[in-house]
Amino acid sequence: MCEIAGIDQRTLQRWNAQEGLSKGDGRPAAVRPLPSHVLSTEKRAKFLSVANEARFASVPQARIVPMLADEGVYLASESTFARVLRAHGQSAHRGRAKAPKAKRPLTTHIATAARQVWCWDVTYLPATVIGLWFHLHLILDLYSRRIVGWEVHADDSTEYAVHLVRRTALAEAIAALADKPVLHGDNGSTLKATAVLAMLN
């Protein structure tokens, strides 16, 4: 029976001797003495009062102990401060720290045909002169992998990006389409420029 239940025979004997089989598991209701080194209510109150002083109100708990140590004062370890503050709901966003904002889920674009999603970017082309680069502005159809527009310039400019998108839209007759393609780009400064966004809108 012990082998089927997965317990040792000695365990069953101990349960029988202490009436564990009739009374049930007594561990949840057991009275456990507090450790001798447990923090008292007075010490917890002192930690909270120190942590909530004006000079520590906006300081993380990991910096409170070193700052007190510079003054020759030791109250508790960093982990103790963190545990007390966490128990009282003061472990995160202390002082004027802003609470985290919920991030918007990433937008995913799936192309099942041509002219649905276009990708564009600016990359560098090395020149024959060391230290000199050309800038390739390129728009690629995600589904067909066809290059629908590109230009090479000596520098990176918002005017070039606006001109490329406008010229590509005219060449591909985007105005006549019922569903316009999505133009997807990275967070580059040129691609996020106000003039480019205004033109796209």
DSSP 127-144: -SSTT-EEEEEEEEETTT
- pLDDT at 49 exceeding the cut of 60: yes
Banded model confidence at residue 199, pLDDT cuts 50, 70, 90: low
Q: What mean pLDDT is predicted for residues 6-28?
A: 80
- pLDDT at 64 exceeding the cut of 70: yes
pLDDT tens digits along 70-83: 999 888 888 888 88
Distance from C-alpha of 172 to C-alpha of 113, rounded to nearest angstrom: 15
Closest CA to 60 of 39, 40, 45, 81: 81
Where in the chain are the domains?
A: 41-87, 117-200
Distance from C-alpha of 201 to C-alpha of 65, rounded to nearest angstrom: 53
Percentage of the chain modeled with pLDDT above 70: 91
Domain 117-200: assigned CATH number: 3.30.420.10
Q: Is the pTM of this model over 0.75?
A: no
